[in-house]
Structure 1
Amino acid sequence: MKKIITWLKSSNRGRHIVGGVLIGLGADDTYCALYAGAGVAGALELKDKLYGGKWDWVDFGCTMAGVVVGRLIRVALTGR
């Protein structure tokens, strides 16, 4: 469990997942969720790169995984 928590804390991966879930919950359809999530994830990674960091595909994937989870929750709750 400590390894998972340490992994989530590195590079703010937990925040990427939570942000993705919020995007997925707020989107009206799946296309909108994935499109917005990819745009936000890309912008976050571009910001990191422009400020001297590296592009992190794991962070990008965490954001997109959060989008999928958020969208699935919304579909389960509302049926659409």
Structure 2
Amino acid sequence: MKWLRESNRPRHILYGFLGALIGTLLFSIGLTIGKEYGDKAWSGKFDRLDLWATLIGGIAGQIVQLFIIWRIWILF
């Protein structure tokens, strides 16, 4: 799990989480691919670990979003 603390991966996790919390996991995946495409265009390097970090955050955000929706559904 050391690779998650390298570079700017905590920020990838955060943005993946927020993208899935506000949108969906598919939106978070789109953010991930777009960001990595931009990295490849500017620096020539596509980093799979950044992609995985964003997806981990996206999955967590989607789970939290579904829990919130479920709690709202139960109240009404």
Compute the TM-score of the two structures, normalised by the length of structure 1. 0.75
Structure 2 residue aligned with 1:21: 17
Structure-2 separation of matches of 1:10 and 1:49? 19
CA-CA distance at 1:8 after TM superposition = 3.4
| CA RMSD in angstroms, aligned pairs only | 1.8
Q: For structure 2, which runs of at least 5 residues remain unmatched after alignment?
A: none
Q: Does 1:51 align with 2:39?
A: no
The runs of at least 4 aligned residues of structure 1 exceeding 4 Å deviation read none
CA-CA distance at 1:64 after TM superposition = 1.1
The size of the alignment, in residue pairs, is 71
Give the percent of matched residue pairs that are identical in Structure 1 and Structure 2: 32
- Structure 1 or 2, whichever has the larger Rg, is 2
Compute the TM-score of the two structures, normalised by the length of structure 2. 0.78
